[in-house]
Structure 1
Amino acid sequence: MSFTRGYFAGTVTTLFAVGIYQYVNISQRHIQHHHESQLSGDLKEQVKRKILKYGVPSKGEEPKVFTNHVLSYDQSKKTPVWVAERITKEQIQGSASRKYSRFMPDPQIQSLFSTENADFLGSGWSRGHMAPAGNNKHDQRAMDDTFYLSNIVPQDIKNNAGFWNRFEMYCRELTKKFDGVQIISGPLTLPTETDEKGQELVVYPVIGKNQVSVPTHLYKVILVESNGSPSAIGCFIVPNKPIENKYSLHEFQVSLKEVQRRTGVEFFPNLRNADLQDNLCSVDSCTLGK
């Protein structure tokens, strides 16, 4: 009886081992075949031409270029993904005035994906610039360009007039200390709530008939130049809500890696291999004015 049990157990073990071997062998051959069957460059082009014969679906990520800023627009959320600008001490001086500027839809954006001033009317949210008008006092057209709604996000009124305004003024102050200041700004929708299962939730309102997304947060990535070369970088994520004066900019500082992870955008890709540290607040005080 024990011989029979031993024989049976040994047979099962052997069959199991053989089965595993065959499974691994088949899996390896399948993986090898999969790698070998990767499409060549020419074949990829043929497939693309056949399946995408009427064009590649566009998400509106082609940058829009203006007098002194460039942006990528999110056609779904009706807000920019990022807005990039470069300012110097000469650009923040001049006679250009907001009183001559008007908020209006961006003619570069199809009306289907655009916003209107009416979307903001009575919403309780202000029209918040990502590239500020105050960064373009040197040129009226450059200032006017910042009033296109493609450069605008629904922003908390007190945040816009308070903390964020002081933040923008700080960026202009940097031009007195550095040759140039590269700034990339934009909106974020991040988790702000947790459900009964402990899962984080991204919850945000939309406003107007065009359903413009209201961001939960705003970000800025600031790169300063000395002698024509990058010398420091600072990254900040700020909640889109009232922030009291007692809070410092340091409290909202994050790493470049973190803001890139949150936005899904690689900033300054040409500097990918540069030894650039998140050290703006080390070479400058990062102190906001009152």
Structure 2
Amino acid sequence: MRVFGSYSRGFLSGSALSLSCCAVWYGLLSPPGLRCERPHLSDSNLPVSSVVDTDHSLEDIHQLDTSREILKYGVPDRGPVVRSYSGHALAYDQARRVPVWVAEHLTPDSVVGPAHRKHSKFKPDPNIPAMFSAQNKDFLQSGGWSRGHMAPAGDFKHSQAAMNSTFYLTNVVPQNYENNAGYWNRFEIFCRDLTRSFSDIRVFTGPLFLPNVVEGQKKYVKYEVIGESTVAVPTHLYKLIVAENNSSDQKAVGAFVVPNEPLGFDHKLTEYQVTLEALEGMTGTTFLPLINQTKLVDLCTVDTCQLLSAQKFELHVLSSRLRNAKNREKLDKIWSELESKKLVPDTFITEIYEKKRKEFEIKEKQKSEL
């Protein structure tokens, strides 16, 4: 296991500030997942009883009155604590133009279906003010950084609407192209494959900005920003996985921190495993405040935590290309690659090829009869 230090001063998300504002006005934090409605501080007619519980002390009321005067012209706003979409939820960092975390819930049914990314397009999130949003041109002119999904499109094949929403740039970070297409892709496939063993998989994914420059006794965090929007390029990416079955109250948890750089097939996933506590220190986020810690087990002790091998990944990529072939010529060309690379197709890939081949034969016959 690779050891990462605990960084007590990780970047602050808008979540902490928004929640603290709610604490001032309501005397307690709002339940997770709810947006906080902020009272108008400048309204001198606002009764104290409307924002303070009667059980609070006079000192609390005095502090509230003081805050009212300090924040006379309103509470500085970094956006909603949580933003909800068709299939995922996230917290967004308006300063860096990237998400803080993105959460999703996978089931055996959610990862299959007719939805296809060919119907989706990357676009700015309409709920984000333009001054806080990334733009497509920031990535297209970045010189090699790809638009990396945090909640991957492939997790939402059950719903085209849910898949489409993953293409909002609030769900995207600048990601090394080779990492995105290779190691990270295999990591995402691993998460989907967990639905074969577990009924429910919850995944939190996001960027990290960790010390990566050492000069003498000092450490520095150095990262690139791209485009006119100055979108921050993370040094690392993380995933927190919580897997469970309906038949058991045990939760299998795995936290992983992966460098945002090219990684080959020689790197095992367990190299990048960290403790939940270490991840929370790096992100400045408490991820599972409502979970029973005594019921947690290490995911990699109940699962192999092995990513696809080079050969199996190649077959996976070719199977996707077969499904997306637009004519018989391209279909046969892809199939011939299997032979040239000496890859042995399994039953699943063979069925894909035969099905697509019959579809094209029927279309060609219908066309000839016109």
Q: Is structure 2 residue 223 aligned with structure 1 residue 204? A: yes
Q: CA deviation at 1:61?
A: 5.0
Q: Which runs of 5 or more structure 2 residues have no equivalent in the other structure?
A: 1-56, 310-370
One of 66, 69, 82 as aligned partner of 1:47: 66
Aligned to 1:114: 133
CA distance in 2, matches of 1:269, 1:50: 33
Relative to structure 1, is the Cα distance of residues 230 and 209 closer, same or farther in structure 2, using a 3 angstrom cutoff?
Answer: farther
Relative to structure 1, is the Cα distance of residues 49 and 157 closer, same or farther in structure 2, using a 3 angstrom cutoff?
Answer: same
Aligned-partner SS, 1:281? helix
| 1:90-239 equivalence runs, <5 A | 90-123=109-142, 124-195=144-215, 197-227=216-246, 229-239=249-259
CA distance in 2, matches of 1:219, 1:59: 23
One of 74, 81, 84 as aligned partner of 1:62: 81
Q: Which runs of 5 or more structure 1 residues have no equivalent in the other structure?
A: 1-37
CA distance in 2, matches of 1:110, 1:122: 22
Residues 34-87 of structure 1: CA distance to partner in whole angstroms, max 9, x if unpaired? xxxx98211121112111122211223521100110000001110000000001
Aligned to 2:358: none
For the 8 Å contact 1:182–1:222, the answer to whether it is kept is yes
CA distance in 2, matches of 1:41, 1:183: 38
For the 8 Å contact 1:223–1:230, the answer to whether it is kept is no
For the 8 Å contact 1:186–1:218, the answer to whether it is kept is yes
Name the % identity. Answer: 48
Moved over 2 A (4+): none
For the 8 Å contact 2:251–2:297, the answer to whether it is kept is no
- AA of the residue aligned to 1:155: Q
For the 8 Å contact 1:82–1:186, the answer to whether it is kept is yes
CA distance in 2, matches of 1:136, 1:217: 24
Q: TM-score, normalised by structure 2?
A: 0.66
- AA of the residue aligned to 1:148: Y
Query: Cα RMSD over matched residues?
Result: 1.4
Pairs aligned (count)? 251
Aligned-partner SS, 1:257? helix
Aligned-partner SS, 1:224? strand
- AA of the residue aligned to 2:214: T
